[in-house]
Amino acid sequence: MINVDLSKAKLTESMESYKDRVAEVHDMIHNKTGAGNDFLGWVDLPTNYNKTEVENIKKKAAELSEEIDVLLVCGIGGSYLGARAAIEAINGLYPTNKVQIIYIGNTFSATYLAQVKNYVKDKEFGINVISKSGTTTETSVAFRIFKELLEETKGKEVAQRRIVATTDAHKGALKTLSDQEGYTEFVVPDDIGGRYSVLTAVGLFPIAMAGIDVDAMLKGAKDAQDKYNNPDLLTNDAYQYGVARQMLLKAGYPAEMFVTYNLQLQQTAEWWKQLFGESEGKEGKGILPTSGTFSTDLHSLGQFIQEGSKVLFETVLKIKEPQMNLEIPSDADNLDGLNYLAGKTVDYVNQKACEGTIDAHVNVGNVPNIQITLDHVDAYSFGYMVYFFEKACAMSVYLLGVNPFNQPGVEVYKKNMFKLLGKPGY
């Protein structure tokens, strides 16, 4: 399902030398003895998830899909990135599903919110508001605006039916509001942080609304859980990726570029960036996670990667079998000179672009390259891939010696903003 190829990673240390340390960290993760151990619920989630809630998610999604044409997913960071990554990876950027998914609650851009308001005001829309804390300002502001719009255009009773709140089981402003309004509620488990929450109701409800098979996604994650529940570094690909990153950091590469050759995986890169960036970047340590979508970014960032300062290594997410393919036609006049490609598929060209680029970056540009190949993209493999990266991330960040599950630095901008906005208590 997933293959990790480190042959072009230019590693100077042996995997063998990390074997014992990795086995120790594996025990820390599974016995919950490390820093942040309150947030390890994702490790066994594919086995232990709340089956009744998943049935309720599917039922509500089926009912609501009959009634609305647009779902506003209102959340920020871990409360929307995973769902968006899954939906765009699996359904593409221009899906023909009945329910269109639009993302709000992740910005204070007045123009964006006003544009979404104009777009949905005469449509049949619903809202899934998602916030574990229930107090995130970007999400609360957008929810207040669109809740009011829904109540004004459709009435309180319809709004109550069309609003779904995903939040803490017991506390927070959103929980209080939702209880009072009588919305359908789904729970963010106490022991799972935002960036590890895509396989909980946080991701699963929007994903189900997009018509994607959530059972298949959980099955993929379960198979990955079984596969990567293996302390042996030499046979655990997820751990090898986690270790290779730390070796490259030590070797003088403080930035990692996650590369995809598929536009519909751009949001997967955004999800990956949050997972690794927020988990690792603390105490003055960590690898800067960045991303590139090739070949388009080869025409912007390609020059820097090839010949610029040697600060980064690449991690390429390759897809063996594309979801769809098309053939390049022959042309009698051949004025564009492309007949040498006639009869070949576009994916064949994409694979050759990938091969040629890796060769150029590694052998001429001296840029280390990790290749992660996913057989194909569907609900099952997306779930599998999510678990792979979660496990790799926890291993990698514990090896670096920081807590992968907190994000104290994120509070600093909030405090300043609250002070400037005159929020009581700041």
Closest residue to ligand PA5 in the complex (CB): 194
Alpha carbon distance 169, 107 (integer Å) = 25
- Of the residues 34, 41, 189, 193, which one makes contact with ligand PA5 according to CB under 6 A: 193
Closest alpha carbon to 252 in 276, 291, 281, 287? 287
Angle at 140 between CA 139 and CA 142, to 5 degrees: 65
Query: Burial, 228: exposed, middle or buried (Cβ in 10 Å; 0-12, 13-18, 19+)?
Result: buried
> Token pair for residue 115?
């544009």
Q: Which stretch binds ligand PA5 (CB under 6 A): 154-162, 187-195, 346-354, 395-403?
A: 187-195
Closest alpha carbon to 369 in 3, 1, 5, 8? 8
Q: How far is the CB of 405 from ligand PA5 (least distance, A)?
A: 9
Residue 76 binds ligand PA5 (CB under 6 A): yes
Alpha carbon distance 313, 73 (integer Å) = 34
Output 51 or 170, the one with its CB closest to ligand PA5. Answer: 170
Backbone torsions φ then ψ of 257, nearest 5 degrees: -105, 120
> Token pair for residue 394?
């926890």
Q: How far is the CB of 140 from ligand PA5 (least distance, A)?
A: 9
Q: Give the CA diameter of the chain.
A: 74
Output 140 or 266, the one with its CB closest to ligand PA5. Answer: 140
**Catalytic: 414?**
yes
> Token pair for residue 148?
């009011």
Residue 136 binds ligand PA5 (CB under 6 A): yes
Q: Where would I find the beta strands (DSSP E) of 70-124?
A: 70-74, 100-104
Q: Which stretch binds ligand PA5 (CB under 6 A): 48-56, 130-138, 291-299, 315-323?
A: 130-138
Task: Please say whether the beta carbons of 37 and 91 come within 8 A.
Answer: no
Residue 131 binds ligand PA5 (CB under 6 A): yes
Q: How far is the CB of 219 from ligand PA5 (least distance, A)?
A: 25
Alpha carbon distance 68, 150 (integer Å) = 12
Between the CA of residue 27 and those of 44, 232, 399, what are the distances in Å?
A: 14, 11, 13
Q: Which stretch binds ligand PA5 (CB under 6 A): 11-19, 73-81, 221-229, 379-387?
A: 73-81
Output 41 or 368, the one with its CB closest to ligand PA5. Answer: 41
Residue 139 binds ligand PA5 (CB under 6 A): yes
Output 165 or 257, the one with its CB closest to ligand PA5. Answer: 165
Residue 128 binds ligand PA5 (CB under 6 A): no
The count of residues interacting with ligand PA5 (CB under 6 A) is 14
Residue 184 binds ligand PA5 (CB under 6 A): no
DSSP type of residue 327: B
The Cβ of residue 421 has, within 10 Å, a number of other Cβ atoms equal to 9
- The site string for ligand PA5 over 277-296 (x = CB under 6 A, - otherwise) reads -x------------------
Q: How far is the CB of 391 from ligand PA5 (least distance, A)?
A: 17
Catalytic entry in 88, 138, 185, 278: 278
Residue 166 binds ligand PA5 (CB under 6 A): no
Residues forming the active site: 278, 414
Binding footprint of ligand PA5 on the chain (CB under 6 A):
76-79, 131-133, 136, 139, 193-195, 278, 407
